[in-house]
Amino acid sequence: MKFYTTLHKYYCGIDLHARLLYVCIIDERGNKVVHQKIKAEPRQLFQLLKPYIGQVVVGVECMHCWYWVSDFCRDIKVDFILGHALYMKAIHGGKAKNDKIDSYKIASLMRGGNFPLAYNYPSEYRTTRDLLRRRTHFMRHSASLKAHVVNTDSQYNLPAQSLNLKNVSAREGLRHHYDDPVIQRMITFEMNILDCYIRELKHVETFIEKEARDDFPVLRHIIRTFPGIGQILALTILYEIGDIGRFDSVQKFASYSRLVKCKAESAGKTYGTSGNKIGNGYLKWAFSEAAVLYLRGNDKAQRYLAKLQKRMSKGKALSALAHKIGRCIYYMLKNKQVFNEEKFLKG
């Protein structure tokens, strides 16, 4: 965990909400110079910060509406830092908690060098990253619709079907497959939604590829040399990472990608794991997806997985493979080297 330790004459902590801000500015000695609630409008925030521009740093907790504050501070040339929400427990504890107290706590954490930093994602890539995340959300829902067809056959003890529901003909075949009219209506309902998803997802993917045409061209070529990683998955990984140089080591990258679990220990005793929600869940999904795609039709990869399964369960073996792929991608991007399967499977 990184903390902000740069010294300033003034520290501005903002308790951020969608429509309101509670702003607290303290000086280097901890004295309050501003403590005020305002509307979430750039003009009002500028009036408060104007006397301190050039001497102040602004900090907010990472939540859904921090983008505009970051861009606003960049435009008026004020330092901006983003606080890691899961590490900022100091502002969530205490007997009394409200916006006024929270804003002062944020400013105090900054002044004391205890403000936990999150990544201030570059504004030029945010919108495409968010669109990729929405695509992932709907892809998961469409997968659950496909899985429900299999579950329905099992539930009513019907013969298993080997259908690829990506195909229109397979979906059409299910519209008159079941004898029970209620089951048939349920499946038809899901196929109608799936039709819409597949059509719209195709349009979105085409749009993303067009919009991202000039972003990460070299790194995109490098990452796509890994078997199974296509255009959209490569873009998902690259947009979630941003700048690979922000990770000092592969261990920090693996931790950020939720590919490792940390032990919870105290007094020499282990209490399971901790921090499972800290990190980037989209990268964890991407590397897990890459592991499944890498195994598809790849005898060498399947033999490697079988080797892992001699020491662990299949689920853990897949997680270990995803971890290995994440580490491999890190070095490929860091060193700008294409995939070497012989070296990958040997390690």
pLDDT per position as a tens digit, 65-104? 999 999 999 999 999 999 998 888 767 777 778 899 999 9
Domain end: 86, 116, 146, which one? 116
- Is the predicted pLDDT of residue 125 greater than 90, yes or no? yes
Structural domain harbouring 287: 220-265+273-346
Structure tokens at 139: 């892809």
CA diameter of the chain: 77
* Residue 302: per-residue pLDDT: 95
340 and 231 co-located in one domain: yes
185 and 170 co-located in one domain: yes
Question: Using an 8 Å Cβ cutoff, are 21 and 40 in contact?
Answer: yes
Q: Is residue 88 part of a domain?
A: yes
Structure tokens at 6: 């740069």
* DSSP summary character for residue 20: E
335 and 254 co-located in one domain: yes
Domain end: 82, 116, 150, which one? 116
Q: Can you say whether residue 94 is alpha, beta or left, with left for phi > 0 and alpha for psi between -120 and 50 degrees?
A: left
167 and 196 co-located in one domain: yes
- Is the predicted pLDDT of residue 347 greater than 70, yes or no? no
Please state the length of the chain.
347
182 and 210 co-located in one domain: yes
Structure tokens at 119: 């990544």
154 and 237 co-located in one domain: no
Average pLDDT over residues 321-331: 97
* Residue 161: per-residue pLDDT: 83
Q: Could you tell me the pLDDT band of residue 273, with boundaries at 50, 70 and 90?
A: confident
* Residue 261: per-residue pLDDT: 80
Cβ partners under 8 Å of residue 272, min gap 6: 263, 264
153 and 188 co-located in one domain: yes
* Residue 42: per-residue pLDDT: 96
The count of structural domains within the chain is 3
Angstrom distance (rounded) from CA 235 to CA 219: 10
Q: Could you tell me the pLDDT band of residue 45, with boundaries at 50, 70 and 90?
A: very high
Q: Could you tell me the pLDDT band of residue 176, with boundaries at 50, 70 and 90?
A: confident
Lowest mean pLDDT among 166-170, 196-200, 225-229, 327-331: 166-170
Q: Is residue 121 part of a domain?
A: no
Q: Is 29 helix (H, G, I), strand (E, B) or coil?
A: coil
Q: Is residue 290 part of a domain?
A: yes
100 and 152 co-located in one domain: no
208 and 249 co-located in one domain: no
Q: Is residue 233 part of a domain?
A: yes
191 and 134 co-located in one domain: yes
Whole-number Cα distances in Å, 5 to 44, 92, 111, 117, 134:
28, 21, 8, 10, 35
Q: Is residue 21 part of a domain?
A: yes
Structure tokens at 284: 């964890």
Question: Using an 8 Å Cβ cutoff, are 296 and 271 in contact?
Answer: no
187 and 240 co-located in one domain: no
Q: Is residue 180 part of a domain?
A: yes
Cβ partners under 8 Å of residue 319, min gap 6: 259, 288
Angstrom distance (rounded) from CA 68 to CA 60: 11
204 and 179 co-located in one domain: yes
pTM of the model: 0.89
* Residue 69: per-residue pLDDT: 97
* Residue 133: per-residue pLDDT: 97
* Residue 319: per-residue pLDDT: 95
- CATH label of the domain that carries residue 42: 3.30.420.10
Residue whose C-alpha is closest to residue 301's, from 325, 283, 284:
325
Percent of the chain with pLDDT over 90: 79
Domain end: 77, 98, 116, which one? 116
Q: Is residue 41 part of a domain?
A: yes
Q: Is residue 154 part of a domain?
A: yes
